Chain A
C-alpha cells in the first residue's frame, strides 16, 4: 500500500530523518514509539506531505506522491490525519465539520454527507452532539469528532499524531476505544503514541524510532518484551523501570513512596506486591541510613512482565562495603524482613560502585 524508500527530511542543517525505507501493507496497525525529538511526527507529516521530504520517494498504491506530475490532493484523500490538538473548525458545528470535506472535495450531496456523518457520529458515540460546536465539547469528545471527520472522507489509511497526548487522563480511554474499534474493522493506521500499553495491545507492528530513522521494527511482543537493539532495550527498560536518586539522609520517604505507588499502578501490580515492595525499599534504606550523609544512592526498580518479578538494584559509589555483611545493625528486624520478602540477594563491586540487588519473592495469589 505504502512504499517508502530512502526518505529524508532536513530543516536547514538539522537532519531529522535520514534514509528511511519501509513498506506498509493494507490492514496493518503500526504504532510508532520513541523518545521525543526522534522524528516520529515529522515522519507522519512527510507521508501526507504536510512536510515536504528532502529526499527519497513515497509510493501510495504504486503512485509516487513526490513526483511533481502527481495529483497530490487526490492521493491525499486516501489518507487522513488526526492531530494531537484536534484541529476542528471552531466556527462550524460538529455536523458541518464532518460534512465539509465530503461536500466540497468529494462532491457528495448534503443529504448523503449528513447521513454518513450521523452514522460516523454514532460510531464514535457522539450522535447527540451533531449540532454542538467544538468549544462545547470536552477534549475527548473533540478528538472523537476529529476521528469521525477523518472517517467521513473514507480514507484507506489514517495517520494519528499523538492522538491522546493533549487529553486529560480520564479522557484517554474513550479515544483509544474508538481507535481499537477501527483496528478491528481493518483500517490501516499509523499511530504515533506514548501510550505503550495501548500500542502493545492494538498494533500488529511497532516501529521504534531513533537516530533519525526506524531503529527497530517488529511485532509488539518482540519490541516490548524482547527488544533486540540497545537503544530499544534502554527505552523499553525506562518505561518498565523506576529510577530514584537519594542524595541525603533527609530524603522524603513519602515522596518516594508516591512515585513507587504510581509506578506500581502503571504496571498494574497486585496490592500485595506493592505493599511488599514499599516495605523492602524502606528496610533497605534503613540499612543505608548511616552512610547517606557521605554517599548518594541510586535505586532502580525494574518490573519484568514476562517473569512477573520485581528486581531492586541499589548502587552507591565509595569504598567497598556490603551492607548485608555489616555487623553494626541494632537488631535483625530489618534484615529478617528483607530476607523473608526477597531472594537472589547479591552484592557486586563494579568499578567504584557497590551494588546490592535483590528480587522480590512472588507472593501467593
Chain B
C-alpha cells in the first residue's frame, strides 16, 4: 500500500494505492493520525487506485473518521469503484459514509 497526501485549498487529499487489508491498515491509520496531529481536520480520501479492501481496511477508515470527527473535522471518500465498491456494498459500509464520484466534487462539499 502507498499513501500520498497533498494539501489542496479546502482539504488534505489522501490518495491510497494498492491494498487496504489486515496487513496494511495500520500504516493507513498511522498516516492519518500523523496528519491529524499536524492540525489537519478536513480530509478527502481518494480511493481510485485502491485495488483491494477488506473489513480490516473498512475498520481503519471508520476509526480514523471517528478521530477526525472528534476534532470537529470532516472526512469524505471519493472515487469508489470496482471491487472496492462491491466490498462497501457487501459489508454495509456504503451507508456509513457519503461517497463522491470525484475528488473535485468532494472538495466542493468541504469548501462549501
What is the interface of chain A, defined by CB distance below 8 A to chain B?
253-254, 275, 278-279, 282-283, 285-286, 330-334, 336-337, 340-341
Q: A90: shortest Cβ distance to chain B, in Å?
A: 50
Dominant secondary structure of chain B at its interface with chain A: helix
In Å, the complex CA distance between A286 and B92 comes to 17
B37 within 8 A of A: no
| Interface pair B22/A285, CB less than 8 Å apart | yes
| Interface pair B22/A334, CB less than 8 Å apart | no
Of A332, A337, A341, most B-chain CB atoms within 10 Å:
A337
| Interface pair B90/A340, CB less than 8 Å apart | yes
Instruction: Tell me which of B39-47, B50-58, B64-72, B99-107 binds A.
Output: B50-58
| Interface pair B54/A275, CB less than 8 Å apart | no
Known: A283-B54, A286-B55, A334-B55. A341 touches B22 (CB 8 A): no
CB-defined contacts of B90 to chain A, threshold 8 Å: 336-337, 340-341
B23 within 8 A of A: yes
Query: Which listed residue (B22, B58, B83, B91) contacts A253, Cβ 8 A?
Result: B22
B97 within 8 A of A: no
Query: Which listed residue (A278, A330, A333) contacts B91, Cβ 8 A?
Result: A333
Dominant secondary structure of chain A at its interface with chain B: helix
CB-defined contacts of B59 to chain A, threshold 8 Å: 330-331, 333
What is the interface of chain B, defined by CB distance below 8 A to chain A?
21-23, 52, 54-56, 58-59, 62, 83, 87, 90-93
| Interface pair B56/A286, CB less than 8 Å apart | yes
In Å, the complex CA distance between A275 and B21 comes to 13
Q: B90: shortest Cβ distance to chain A, in Å?
A: 4
| Interface pair A337/B87, CB less than 8 Å apart | yes
In Å, the complex CA distance between A285 and B83 comes to 20
Query: Which listed residue (B21, B52, B83, B92) contacts A333, Cβ 8 A?
Result: B92
**What is the chain B residue whose CB lies nearest that of A252?**
B23
Q: A335: shortest Cβ distance to chain B, in Å?
A: 9
The 30 sampled A-B contact pairs (Cβ below 8 Å) are A253-B22, A253-B23, A254-B23, A275-B83, A278-B52, A279-B54, A282-B21, A282-B22, A282-B54, A283-B54, A283-B55, A285-B22, A286-B22, A330-B59, A331-B55, A331-B62, A332-B92, A333-B55, A333-B58, A333-B59, A333-B91, A334-B54, A334-B55, A334-B91, A336-B91, A337-B54, A337-B55, A337-B90, A337-B91, A341-B90
